[in-house]
Amino acid sequence: MEYIIIIGAFQALLALCLFVANRQKKPADNLLTWILICLFTHLSIKFIIYAASGNTLLKMGFNTFIDLGYGPLLWMYARKVQYDRYRPVQHWFLLLPTFAAGAMYTAISLKIVIDPTGVEQWLSLYNEITQYLIIASMTIFPVLSLRISPQLPAFWKSERQLIKKIALLFLVIPALWMVTKTTNVSELLGDATLNLTIRLIAYSNSLIICLLIIQYRLEARMLMKSPAAPEPLPSALNGYPTPAVLQEEKESLVLTVAAAIQPTEEQPAPRKSTLTTLQQEAIAVKLSVLMQEKKVYTDPELTLEKLSTLVKTPRHHLSEVLNQHLHQTFYQYINDHRMKEVLHLLDHCRQHQVTPNILSLAYDAGFNSKSSFNQYFKKTTGYTPTEYLKQPRKAELNRITATFISLQQTIQPH
> Nearest 5°: phi and psi at 240?
-100, 105
Span 254-286, pLDDT tens digits: 333 343 334 444 444 445 567 788 888 888 888
Residue 225 has pLDDT above 50, yes or no: no
CATH number of 2-225: 1.20.1070.10
Angle at 283 between CA 277 and CA 286, to 5 degrees: 140
Q: What does pLDDT average to over the chain?
A: 75
Query: DSSP string spanning 167-204?
Result: HHHHHHHHHHHHHHHHSSHHHHH-HHHHHHHHHHHHHH
pLDDT, residue 9, reads 67
Q: What is the spatial distance between Cα 110 and Cα 130, in angstroms, rounded to a whole number?
A: 18
Residue 6 has pLDDT above 60, yes or no: yes
Homologous superfamily of domain range 279-414 = Homeodomain-like (1.10.10.60)
Query: DSSP string spanning 256-270?
Result: HHHHH----SSSPPP
Span 110-141, pLDDT tens digits: 887 788 777 778 888 888 898 899 999 999 99
Length of the chain: 414
Side-chain-side CA neighbours of 277 within 13 Å: the count stands at 8
Query: DSSP string spanning 142-153?
Result: HHHHHHHGGGS-
Identity of the amino acid at 181? K
Question: How would you class 248 by CB atoms within 10 Å of its CB: exposed for 0-12, middle for 13-18, buried for 19 or more?
Answer: exposed
pLDDT, residue 250, reads 37
- Does residue 53 contact residue 253 with C-beta atoms inside 8 Å? no
- Does residue 311 contact residue 283 with C-beta atoms inside 8 Å? yes
> Nearest 5°: phi and psi at 263?
-65, 135
Residue 229 has pLDDT above 50, yes or no: no
Residue 289 neighbours by CB under 8 Å, 6+ apart: none
Residue 52 has pLDDT above 70, yes or no: no
Residue 236 has pLDDT above 50, yes or no: no
Sequence ranges of the chain with CATH classification 1.20.1070.10: 2-225
Residue 66 neighbours by CB under 8 Å, 6+ apart: 38, 41, 42, 45, 98, 102
DSSP 240: E
Identity of the amino acid at 258? A
Q: What is the spatial distance between Cα 163 and Cα 82, in angstroms, rounded to a whole number?
A: 11
Sequence ranges of the chain with CATH classification 1.10.10.60: 279-414
Task: Between 176 and 250, name the one with better pLDDT.
Answer: 176
Residue 240: strand pairing partners:
237
Percent of the chain with pLDDT over 70: 69
Task: Between 140 and 59, name the one with better pLDDT.
Answer: 140
Residue 366 pLDDT level (bands cut at 50, 70, 90): confident
Residue 320 has pLDDT above 70, yes or no: yes
Span 9-33, pLDDT tens digits: 676 677 667 666 665 566 788 888 8
Give me the mean pLDDT over the 157-180 stretch. Answer: 89
Q: Give the dihedral sign, CA 205/206/208/213.
A: positive
